[in-house]
Amino acid sequence: MMLRRRPWPAVAGATAVLLAAGCGTGGAEAPEEAAATPHGYVEGAEETAEPQWRLVMADTAAGTLHMLDPATEEVTGAGAAPGVAEAVTDGRFAFFGTGDAVTVLDTGTWTVDHGDHVHYYRAEARLVGEAEGSGTLQAVADPAVTALSSDDGVRIIDRPALEEGELSVTAVEGGGTALAYGQRLLVARANGTVDVLDRDGAPADQTVGERCPDPRGQAVTRRGAVIGCSDGALLVTEDDGTLTTERIPYPDQAGAGPVRSFQHRPGASVLAGPAGDEGIWVLDVGAREWTHVETGPAVATSAAGEDMPVLVLGADGTLRSYAPASGEQLAETELMDPPGDGGPAPAIRIDTTRAYVNDPLADAVHEIDYNDDLRLARTFDLGFSPDLMVETGW
């Protein structure tokens, strides 16, 4: 593999959306057997001082899976998924849709955020198995479950079992788009209703009175869970076990169609998604405001966070950044040849200091410093086509 441009130092920051119980002992003296176990210990994993980002890629023609460690620049094979056509992640596990099934890969990198401190882990990557699922995959997890949505329904995957290499799956009746949030599951149905279920898929003790017509796009942020609807977004927040819903309608006379999906740095509360053929929508969850940015046709987009740039890859292969509140263009760089219409579109994946854009036509991935006028930090020449790409370790 060839590298172009100077490597950057290993990342020292962190981002995480996994919620976990606190680590403290409340001042009580730990039992002798517990004191022998280091704080944060996870059997079979190594705790590290820094987040362990991995770019997980699939060559759709060959049906092969690959992982790139940006810190060491090492590329490793991660197995095969014949017929792979799409990829999503819940932060640790990557899910590869093959048309009639979903191949599950444990990438062996993840973060646990305890609020006042964070743990980073790495372990051996391994293929776990196959789950049912067909088309338009979405995955959102908490420590107990991963909610996997697809065109043929919603499935709840037992997360602790998955971490042990076992697939324990429960189907949810009725289909829809699901999010794991607030120790419950939110399922937006095609008829516009939003059901609240427990982690076993049964009706929970609360309901959501608001409707979400034509649900599309979902995200979990530090300010709540968001579901895209044809008339705006539905924001769900949780306080001491109680769920509250709030509508964020599109601006009057917006002149653009509804958002089709949300992309963002994991946990960040600014979201971006394509809006028709002429631009993107940016949703600032904290401000409860939408901004329509006229970018021209967007091949890919993602948002870095509050007061941070929104990135858009245009049909001409140029990467541009925009201010999320005003829509003002901040910088641009000619990144790749026009991607074209054949095969999966490139994606933009953002972590705490870098963005990554896969370039299937060039068999490469570009690393971008989005805080330095979209400076091209490195290009990874891979020797295979990274048609699909997700980032794990969060």
Query: Tens of pLDDT along 94-146?
Result: 999 999 999 999 999 999 988 789 999 999 999 999 999 999 999 999 999 99
pLDDT band at 40 (very low <50, low <70, confident <90, very high): confident
Round to whole Å and give the CA distance between 219 and 174: 21
d(CA 78, CA 353): 25
Q: Which pLDDT score is estimated for 47?
A: 96
Task: Look up the pTM and report it.
Answer: 0.90
41 or 379: which leads in pLDDT: 379
Q: pLDDT digits over 62-97, tens only?
A: 999 999 999 999 999 999 999 999 999 999 999 999
pLDDT score, position 23: 54
Looking at every residue in the chain, the average pLDDT score rounds to 90
**Domain boundary assignment for the chain:** 2-21+40-392
Rg (the chain; Cα; Å): 20
Whether 59 has a pLDDT exceeding 50, the answer reads yes
Check whether 7 has a pLDDT greater than 60.
no
Among residues 245, 246, 275, the alpha carbon closest in space to that of 261 is found at 275
Tokens 């999966």 belong to residue = 344
Q: Residue 36: its pLDDT value, please? A: 61
Average pLDDT over residues 19-48: 61
At 32, phi and psi to the nearest 5?
Answer: -60, -40
**Could you tell me the two tokens for 332?**
């641009």
> DSSP 3-state assignment of 9?
coil
- Class of the 2-21+40-392 domain? mainly beta
Residues in the chain: 394
Q: What angle do CA 16, 19, 23 make, to 5 degrees?
A: 105
- Nearest Cα neighbor of 301 from 324, 326, 280 is 280
The pLDDT assigned to 13 comes to 36
pLDDT digits (tens, 9 = 90+) for 264-312: 999 999 999 999 888 999 999 999 999 999 999 999 999 999 999 999 9
